[in-house]
A = this chain, B = another copy of it.
Amino acid sequence: MDKPVLLTGAGGRVGQAILGHIGDAYDWRLLDREPLSDEKIPESVDQTNVYVADITDETAIRNAIEGVGAVIHLAGDPRPEAPWDSVLRNNIDGTQNMFEAAIDAGVEKFAFASSNHAVGAYETDERTPEMYRPHHEFRLDGTELARPSNLYGVSKATGETLGRYYHDHHDISVVNVRIGNLTQHHPPKEYERGQAMWLSYRDCAHLFACCIDADYDFEIVYGISDNDRKYYSIDRAREVLGYDPQDNSAEFTFEGEPLDEA
């Protein structure tokens, strides 16, 4: 990608995971609703490329997106328990605003941070906790209909559908990344579900680099490491995006004990 890449929600957890690993690999523009402290900005990014703006503010977004080749859109209310009014405004309306601005600016690629919560209700009482364990055959692969865990998940499923619409009607590549459980340094302890959908920081950064560099039309992929426990397929991310994860929650122990007993 020769053109700048706009990262919205740059100061959040996913944004920082990305910048911590590939912060010097692209010509970034960083956007966040809150001012970014210096330690959150890679050394290669100067202040003229850092924008403080709300994604529902059309004018501010249009300044940030001008001349951009790819957008990684992470901004939004990240709380699974967020109330409807907040996800309606920040996640649904905000994402539509980003797509409109991206189309007008001629952006080529748009990676949308969707969530495991778009499909969380597949984890029924009948299937859990067995589906979180290695060798269990249940898999979601991105072709299934949404089954949100919560209204936050509804908002993420809607963002995916907006991506489908803008891809079908405009010349823009769209990838929806259903992000799993992103934690730094090691997978969550005593939390099988989190281990099943663990995403390490370096795998997260690599996956979004793939979203910037690969050629695709419209995709829904799962953003998790190559965990033994996984019930999300990463085949599509491998095939289409060239995703090659390095981590697996099964390889972690604490004081010699498996994570579950740590």
Q: Chain A interface mostly helix, strand, loop or mixed?
A: helix
- Tell whether, in the assembled complex, residue A165 and residue B148 are in contact, meaning their CB atoms are under 8 Å apart: yes
A162 contacts chain B at the CB level, 8 A cutoff = yes
Q: Number of contact residues on A: which range applies?
A: 20 to 34
Query: Which B residues are CB-close (under 8 A) to A88?
Result: 88, 92-93, 96
The segment from A26-34, A68-76, A150-158, A232-240 found at the interface with B is: A150-158
**A164 and B143 contacting across the interface, CB-CB below 8 Å:** no
Q: How far is the CB of A105 from chain B (nearest CB, A)?
A: 18
Q: A145-B143, A161-B146, A161-B157 are in contact. Are A168 and B92 (CB under 8 A)?
A: no
> Could you say which residues of chain B place their CB within 8 Å of the CB of A62?
none
- Determine how close the nearest CB of chain B comes to the CB of A117; give it in whole angstroms: 10
Interface string of A79-119 (1 = CB under 8 A from B): 00000100010001100100010000000000000000000
| Chain B residues within 8 Å of A146, by CB | 161, 164
Copies held by the complex: 2
Is B121 a contact of A96 with CB atoms below 8 Å?
no
A151 in contact with B165 (CB, 8 Å):
yes
Nearest chain B CB to A3 CB, angstrom units? 27
Quick one: given A92-B92, A145-B143, are A121 and B164 in contact (CB under 8 Å)?
Answer: yes
Residue numbers of A with Cβ under 8 A of B are: 84, 88, 92-93, 96, 100, 121, 143, 145-148, 150-151, 153-154, 157-158, 161-162, 164-165, 168-169
